[in-house]
Copies of this chain bind each other. A is one copy, B any other.
Amino acid sequence: MTNQVELLVKGSRRALARTLTLIENQHPQAQATLAQLYPHTGKAWILGVTGAPGTGKSSLVNALTKALREQEKTVAIIAVDPTSPFSGGAILGDRIRMQDLSGDKGVFIRSMATRGSLGGVATATRDMVRVLDAAGFDYVIVETVGAGQSEVDIVRTAYTTLVIEAPGLGDDVQAIKAGILEIADILVVNKADRNGADQTVRSLRAMLELGHPASWEQFVSHHGRLMETPTMPSTPSDVTLWIPPVLKTSAIQNEGITELVIQIEKHRQHLTESGTVAQLEARYIEIELYERLQQALMRQVTSQLSESLIQTIINQIRTREIDPQTAVNQLLVQLN
């Protein structure tokens, strides 16, 4: 074990920050470091938090963190930055939060820019979660804007996923977010002091009844589709399904946060006692395995392909000399 990993595991914040930077920069040492700290992972409870902009997601994570701190739990937060150049909101929110929680040694916050991260956001997030897990945090919260596939990727690392909503978003938005509901373990209607909170709670409950996976098979078929690995997990015979509760909170007024912590703990108990957490972890690892395999294979193959060969093939396809799949088949024969 290198000195840095040793220090990290013992709780050095300096070693932690350095390790995270190493990994973010894809330093040649990153892989070895991750391998060394991996045996120290598996203790943190990983929370995924997602929701549209304007739902007060960051304030809620803030309030939740404070509540967990009151129970003397340590908390690390990974704020995954939106990829769009239009919004700079996450960084701003992060600064405000930093002020609010700074000075507390039991809290650690790190932003992650997803823009242009080759190898995928999912891989980068997983690696960061592991570093923070090895550093001994009781909770690692992965926070991301719910706006597409990437938040689904990210949530895949989490044991408990909170989906944050807010009153007053129209039906159109609800429809957009339907896909996100599927991944929720706990639904939170934040900004509950606003008009229409009860209406939002009701419509979310209705949507849940309509669409939440009612069986393990359905659950697997939803998540299996999102995850796409060649194999499918087996059906456990005795899983009691978790019905996602819909909670009301007001992060700014610190209302409903105690109940939220209770529900998170309940979900954790549910997963642990039913043995589902082991299955979930096995499934996440399987997905990761295929993703890493894919990345490694592509690295191997592309290193064998010259730029000029690729350009020649592209040209042949463009001029209709050859079709794309036949071109790929020929390439594979050449490579083997």
Contact = CB atoms under 8 A, between A and B. Distances in A.
Going nearest first, the 5 A-B pairs with the smallest beta carbon separation are: A149-B149, A86-B178, A38-B323, A54-B172, A148-B148
Given A84-B179, A176-B176, 16 more contacts: A35-B323, A39-B320, A54-B175, A84-B182, A86-B178, A116-B224, A147-B148, A166-B172, A169-B170, A278-B318, A282-B318, A285-B318, A290-B302, A293-B298, A293-B301, A294-B294
25 contacts: A31-B325, A52-B176, A54-B175, A85-B222, A86-B178, A86-B210, A87-B178, A89-B175, A115-B225, A147-B176, A148-B149, A166-B172, A169-B173, A172-B173, A173-B176, A281-B318, A282-B315, A285-B317, A289-B310, A289-B328, A292-B325, A293-B328, A293-B332, A297-B297, A300-B332
Interface residues of A, number: 83
A290 B328 CA distance: 9
A187 to B, nearest CB: 14
A115 B182 CA distance: 14
A169 B224 CA distance: 32
A54 B194 CA distance: 24
A231 interface: yes
A327 interface: yes
Contacts of A84: 178-179, 182, 211
Total identical chains: 2
Contacts of A1: none
A296 B148 contact: no
